[in-house]
C-alpha cells in the first residue's frame, strides 16, 4: 500500500508538537509509545488531532496493533481509513 508522504509529514509534525523531542529522523523504527515520545495524555491529544486533521476515527483496537506504533505504520492506518471512508 502506498502511503502518502504528506500523511507521514503531518504525523511527524504532530508527534513533535505533542511530545518532548524531535522524531523526524526515525520514521520506520521508532516506537513512539514505548520510546516515551508521548505520555498517555499527550497520546490522547495526538489521536484527537489526527482524527480532526484527517477526518477519521481511530479505535482503541487500532492502537493495539504494533504496526501502528511507528510513523510509517500509523500513516498506513490513516491511509487505509481514508480509503474506506472516501
**Overall average pLDDT of the 35-50 stretch:** 83
Question: Which has the higher per-residue pLDDT, 79 or 34?
Answer: 79
pLDDT tens figures, 58-77: 999 998 888 888 888 899 99
Residue 26: which CATH number? Answer: 1.10.1200.10
Answer whether 0.85 is exceeded by the pTM. no
Structural domain for 29, as ranges: 5-85
How many domains does one find in the chain? 1
Q: Which pLDDT belongs to residue 32?
A: 60
Angle between helices 5-18 and 71-85 (to 10 degrees): 120
**Overall average pLDDT of the 29-41 stretch:** 66
Cell of 5: 508522504
Amino acid at each position: 500500500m502506498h502511503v502518502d508522504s504528506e500523511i507521514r509529514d503531518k504525523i511527524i509534525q504532530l508527534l513533535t508538537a505533542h511530545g518532548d523531542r524531535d522524531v523526524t529522523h526515525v520514521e520506520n523504527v521508532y516506537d513512539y509509545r514505548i520510546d516515551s515520545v508521548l505520555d498517555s495524555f499527550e497520546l490522547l491529544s495526538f489521536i484527537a488531532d489526527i482524527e480532526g486533521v484527517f477526518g477519521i476515527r481511530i479505535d482503541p483496537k487500532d492502537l493495539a496493533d504494533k504496526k501502528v506504533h511507528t510513523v510509517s505504520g500509523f500513516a498506513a492506518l490513516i491511509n487505509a481509513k481514508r480509503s474506506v471512508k472516501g
